[in-house]
Structure 1
Amino acid sequence: MATVSLDRPPGNGWTPGLGREFFAALDRLAADPEVRALVVTGTGPDFCVGADGGSLDNITNAGSYEIDAARPTYWAAMTIAKPVVAAVNGACFGVGLQLALFCDVRFAGSSAKFATAFVRRGLIAELGMTWLLPRIVGLGVANDLLLSGRLVRAAEAERLGLVNRVAEDTGLLAAAQEYAAGLAARCSPAAMGVVKRQTYTDLTSTLPAAVARGDAYLEAALASADFAEGVRSWRERRQPVFGGLDPAHARFTLPDADDARQAASR
């Protein structure tokens, strides 16, 4: 298990430089066979307050915004065939919220606070938040959060399904790390990778296609050493000892962005 921390005080305001370092760290850990689960958090009191104020000023002064050709890296956490757990401390706004949503499971400190914030800056919802947020909290709640940009505190975030669990601030990181370490110790890395791929791929699939893919994955799983070990350890009432994730299967791709753009232009 490994932990990645956003570290750009104060508030870990998002900049292109921070993004490059963050996504490079994810790439390294995705390829590391010794790492079976990841935790993402923020250094200091906040997870990420959103875009850095200086970056916003530069965009305002320039009067335009160049879209980054490497934008698919923003959802990198979703394409890593390992569980990625967010430990959200303090403020989690705008792009910071989107980064947390791209993680598979979200823990929040008791004083954490969330906001989409875009409309309060005269901006639209970017980075696919209109695609992902309704899938996590439902359409009605997503509309509320996106249209109002209002503040949501930890207890409400848990109630809405925005986060999976709330922990005391002082124990937040330990709780998220314990959860991730438990996945790494008790679950097959190969199986988790396939299940994660199924989950995100099937969001835009039909039920028959999802079942067909699942059947193919199941056939491979039934023939695997991990399945034999899983059954054997269960019968012997001990912890399983699973093999590591094949580095060749450490990442997967989501439905192609070019297909989405072509569909939108029709």
Structure 2
Amino acid sequence: CAGADMSSGADSFDTHDSANFSSSPVLPAWKVRKPVIAAMNGHAIGLGFSLALQCDFRFAATDSKYGLIQSRRGVLADGCSHWLLPRLIGVEAAMEMLVLGRTLTSDELAEKGLAREILPAAQVLPAALSFADEIASQSSPLIAAMSKRLLWDGLGMSLDAMDAKESQWLQHTMGKADAIEGGRAFAERRAPRWQSQVNSDWPEG
């Protein structure tokens, strides 16, 4: 995503008065229970980068550009980036990205902690798929989903509230099929055969 279509010049960002307008037009990736991985094998500018920021992991291509350049076009950055960036990289670094609107190289992206791995474009998707396969095969799907939910929800919770929720959810997983299988697979030195289902085994509350 190379950014907004600017071919209409002055009308590129025309007024949008719809009551249903949202700066984040799709379900944010942090609300998806499964880990979401961004495989950026080309430029990600503007909303394309905002959507990548919503993901749990990002793989980026060398020789590509990334950034939220909207301030240089006279409009705000989108995709809940004002909420995401300070939580990902701190307020000052977020302010720099949002106010200056510079494009970043893949190395600069990695320096800010916004890319898990930098690779040639042709290797980005295979690497992301390999990482996804490791999560799917080695980690209980229920635990991966619950960990993700606690991490994202924890950004707006007090320590006491998180302690209570984590304790409640930990108790929910103890003694269950995956807890038994995890210990058994370790003892037998084999890959685990997970049985949990995120929808049917999700904790209440």
Q: Which TM-score applies when normalising by structure 1? A: 0.70
Q: Is 1:187 aligned to residue 130 of structure 2?
A: no
Counterpart in 1 of 2:168?
A: 216
Look up the equivalent residue of 1:242 and give its one-letter code.
Answer: W
Percent identity over paired residues: 32
Alpha-carbon deviations, 1:161-207, whole Å to 9, x = none?
Answer: 11111112221110011000111111100001100110111100000
Return 5+ residue gaps in structure 1 as ranges: 1-47, 251-266
Counterpart in 2 of 1:202?
A: 154
2:28 aligns to what SS in structure 1? helix
Counterpart in 1 of 2:109?
A: 157
Counterpart in 1 of 2:90?
A: 138
Equivalent residues in 2 for 1:63-74, closer than 5 Å: 63-66=15-18, 68=20, 74=26
Aligned length: 202
Whether contact under 8 Å (2:178, 2:196) holds in the other structure is no
Q: Is 1:240 aligned to residue 168 of structure 2?
A: no
Query: Does the C-alpha gap of structure 1 residues 216 and 133 become closer, same or farther in structure 2, counting only changes over 3 Å?
Result: same
2:194 aligns to what SS in structure 1? coil
Whether contact under 8 Å (1:81, 1:249) holds in the other structure is no
Q: Is 1:79 aligned to residue 45 of structure 2?
A: no
Counterpart in 1 of 2:2?
A: 49
| Aligned mates of 2:66, 2:124 — CA distance in 1 | 16
1:106 aligns to what SS in structure 2? strand
Return 5+ residue gaps in structure 2 as ranges: none
Query: Does the C-alpha gap of structure 1 residues 92 and 123 become closer, same or farther in structure 2, counting only changes over 3 Å?
Result: same
Query: Does the C-alpha gap of structure 1 residues 68 and 95 become closer, same or farther in structure 2, counting only changes over 3 Å?
Result: farther
**What's the CA shift for 1:236?**
0.9
Counterpart in 1 of 2:121?
A: 169
Bigger fraction of residues in helix: 1
Alpha-carbon deviations, 1:211-250, whole Å to 9, x = none?
Answer: 1000000001112111110111011111111025233578
Look up the equivalent residue of 2:84 and give its one-letter code.
Answer: L
Look up the equivalent residue of 1:108 and give its one-letter code.
Answer: A
| RMSD of aligned alpha carbons | 2.3
